[in-house]
Amino acid sequence: MNSETLIRLQARLAAARGDRPVDLLLENGQVINVLSGKIERSPVAVFDGVIVGFGKYDATENFDLEGSFLSPGFIEPHIHIESSKLTPSQFAEVVLRRGTTTVIADPHEIANVLGIAGIKFMIENSRSTKLDIFFMLPSCVPATTMETSGAKLSADDLKLLIDKPQILGIGEMMNFPGAVFGDPEVLSKAMLSEGKRPIDGHAPGLSGKDLSAYLLAGPMTDHECTVIEEAREKLARGMRILIREGSTARNLKALISLINPTTERRIMFATDDRRPGDLRDHGHLDFILRQAVGMGLDPLIALRLVTLNPSEMYNLKDRGAIIPGAIADLVALNDLKEFEVKHVWKRGTMVSGSEDNTSSLKPLIPVGISGPLPVPEITYADLQIEDKGCEVRVIGLVPDQIVTENLIKSLPASNGFLQSDPTQDIVKLVVVERHTGSGGKGIGFLKGMGIRGGAIGSTVAHDSHNIIVAGDNDKSIISAIRHLTEIGGGQVVTAGEEILADLALPIAGLMTDESVSAVSEIEEYLIEAAKKFGCKPVDPFMALSFLALPVIPSLKLTDKGLVDVDKFQPVSLYL
């Protein structure tokens, strides 16, 4: 211990003993003790950014909580900030006011586009906010060989970052077949944890002996459970379960019965992906708390799932409970039903109540993060699908889920080429490689989007984030691809050659440095434009973004073609 650290600790001890005034005394509150499961009525003393004691203290500032509930700050255990379309600094603006004081993010979205440079951008940008943002190193860049990403990260690449203070462990291991069958590259990334750092899992539907093998490879958590039987088996085999309730994948209702007095210490709530409009209008972890308690969950147990449990899982021993020595990340709540946030303190400093108090400057975007996309011109001939006189595989959307159906359909043909079929709600789906200029593309069909008379397109297409467009006519599809190429990435709605609405995402084709309010307004306009074409999903672009993800069952489309995820291999469009 150096002299500066010793002097600081001695000052904190003096404040705890009452030998010197504390900085802040929070009085007249109902203090939530997530360790005992009790609500205590005692003032909370804060000095030098940490909690030093309980009871009466002389204080520089006395704050009257007016009977509100005082909770530890909320901890998000798994999210991809890029999916909010906001930079970490702008993301912090909205979630801090919702009671989230710590976030554990997996930056594999931007890493799949820009590699190490993308991870460094996220780390540097996050330093401009009071929100504590930690990162898990992306273990699957790319997630599979069945798609083209903008980067490839080896274990040696990740080793260069593993000791950075903002890195907590290894991110979700999506290549679960690689882990199960002992792929050397997959295992070498897991071994970077050295048994000391957490490793996140990602194993939808994995069961039995394959699940046991996966666990031996190192993953400790799973956020992909969609049915209670799957969650129970994984929990019984030692995994910690993250119940996901995001903007598209919503698993809370199906899994809430998993939580009981025996299991609740090994369960957490997570969002995974959260669109900006939902963050602004409905909240972050406070939204999940509200939903869970509305389904009958005890509010103190619910709070434990976003405070103590993630702090212990990710070795954040200095937070997660209101105890001496914990950093003073605190949330004052009006009640334990709606979880309306009155005030938020970060390290003892109030940060709620203003949109401009978490970061004062908009960080610069480094050179190389943005620019036009290297995509060759796409012609009508490029989009033709030959009619071979047989049935074809069609991706089927599943409402409120990121899993899809593997459908077999007959489609109409014209001049020897297969066509979209509005009578079956089937449109064309196109994925175009946007990282290397190869011109690679995959073409298939999609059922359930509802598009009639246009197309929607995006460069947010998990996980390699190539251009993805769904539409019922080639002119609209080509216009969408061309426009996204010109603006350097984003989202667009087209009708023929007309651009009806767009959102530019100049940072890696994934994010913008605009505020959550600005992005949400444009996004709402985009969705409204898509709805005029009959789009069925609540957020058509969020639904679209998961259709190129070849690690989520059952049928997906990448720039290399269709992928049967259940078999984890490419398949032909034709039967």
SS3 14: helix
Instruction: Answer yes or no: is pLDDT of 356 > 90.
Output: no
Q: How far apart are CA 123 and CA 133, in angstroms?
A: 8
- For the stretch 4-51, pLDDT in tens is 999 999 999 999 999 999 999 999 999 999 999 999 999 999 999 999
Residues 6+ apart with CB under 8 A from 21: 15, 57, 58, 59, 60
Where residue 568 falls (left for φ over 0; alpha for ψ -120 to 50; beta otherwise) is left
Instruction: Answer yes or no: is pLDDT of 358 > 50.
Output: no
With contact defined as beta carbons under 8 Å apart, do 493 and 527 qualify?
Answer: no
- For the stretch 161-183, pLDDT in tens is 999 999 999 999 999 999 999 99
Residue 329 neighbours by CB distance under 10 Å: 31
- For the stretch 465-485, pLDDT in tens is 999 999 999 999 999 999 999
User: Which residue from 79, 76, 129, 12 is spatially nearest to 319, judged by alpha carbons?
Assistant: 76
Q: pLDDT band for 428, please (50, 70, 90 cuts).
A: very high
**What is the reported pLDDT for 15?**
98
Mean pLDDT of all residues in 358-362: 46
Report the Cα 147 to chain-centroid distance in Å: 21
**What is the reported pLDDT for 56?**
98
Provide the b/e sequence for 70-101 (b: ≥16 CB within 10 Å): bbbbbbbbbbbbbbbbbbbbbbbbbbbbbbbb
Q: pLDDT band for 384, please (50, 70, 90 cuts).
A: very high
Instruction: Answer yes or no: is pLDDT of 359 > 70.
Output: no
Q: Which domains does the chain have, with CATH numbers?
A: 3-67 (2.30.40.10), 73-318 (3.20.20.140), 381-570 (no CATH)
User: Which residue from 88, 82, 23 is spatially nearest to 330, judged by alpha carbons?
Assistant: 23
Instruction: Answer yes or no: is pLDDT of 353 > 60.
Output: no
With contact defined as beta carbons under 8 Å apart, do 99 and 341 qualify?
Answer: yes
**What is the reported pLDDT for 399?**
87
Q: How far apart are CA 220 and CA 544, in angstroms?
A: 29
Instruction: Answer yes or no: is pLDDT of 460 > 70.
Output: yes
Q: Which residue has the tokens 């039987």?
A: 229
Q: How far apart are CA 465 and CA 112, in angstroms?
A: 7
**What is the reported pLDDT for 402?**
86
**What is the reported pLDDT for 143?**
84
Please state, rounded to an integer, the average pLDDT across all residues of the chain. 95
**What is the reported pLDDT for 95?**
97
Q: How far apart are CA 463 and CA 111, in angstroms?
A: 9
Across the beta sheet with 569-570, the strand order is 555-558, 561-564, 569-570
Report the Cα 498 to chain-centroid distance in Å: 32
Mean pLDDT of all residues in 395-420: 95
Number of H helices, E strands in the chain: 17, 31
With contact defined as beta carbons under 8 Å apart, do 407 and 447 qualify?
Answer: yes
**What is the reported pLDDT for 352?**
76
DSSP letter at 207 equals -
- For the stretch 218-246, pLDDT in tens is 999 999 999 999 999 999 999 999 999 99
**What is the reported pLDDT for 401?**
84
Report the Cα 99 to chain-centroid distance in Å: 17
- Taking each helix axis from N to C end, the angle separating 516-531 and 88-96, rounded to the nearest 10 degrees, works out to 90
Instruction: Answer yes or no: is pLDDT of 354 > 60.
Output: no
**What is the reported pLDDT for 364?**
52
Q: How far apart are CA 6 and CA 496, in angstroms?
A: 69
Mean pLDDT of all residues in 400-405: 88
Q: How far apart are CA 258 and CA 263, in angstroms?
A: 7
Q: pLDDT band for 525, please (50, 70, 90 cuts).
A: very high
- For the stretch 60-93, pLDDT in tens is 999 999 999 999 999 999 999 999 999 999 999 9
With contact defined as beta carbons under 8 Å apart, do 428 and 445 qualify?
Answer: yes
With contact defined as beta carbons under 8 Å apart, do 201 and 219 qualify?
Answer: yes
**What is the reported pLDDT for 365?**
57
Instruction: Answer yes or no: is pLDDT of 355 > 50.
Output: no
**What is the reported pLDDT for 6?**
95
Residues 6+ apart with CB under 8 A from 510: 82, 85, 109, 110, 113, 459, 460, 465, 489
**What is the reported pLDDT for 298?**
98
Q: Which residue has the tokens 């943002």?
A: 133
**What is the reported pLDDT for 445?**
98
Where residue 368 falls (left for φ over 0; alpha for ψ -120 to 50; beta otherwise) is left
Beta strand extents in 257-315 (DSSP E only): 267-270
SS3 374: coil
Instruction: Answer yes or no: is pLDDT of 360 > 70.
Output: no
Instruction: Answer yes or no: is pLDDT of 367 > 50.
Output: no
Q: Which residue has the tokens 């998993």?
A: 258
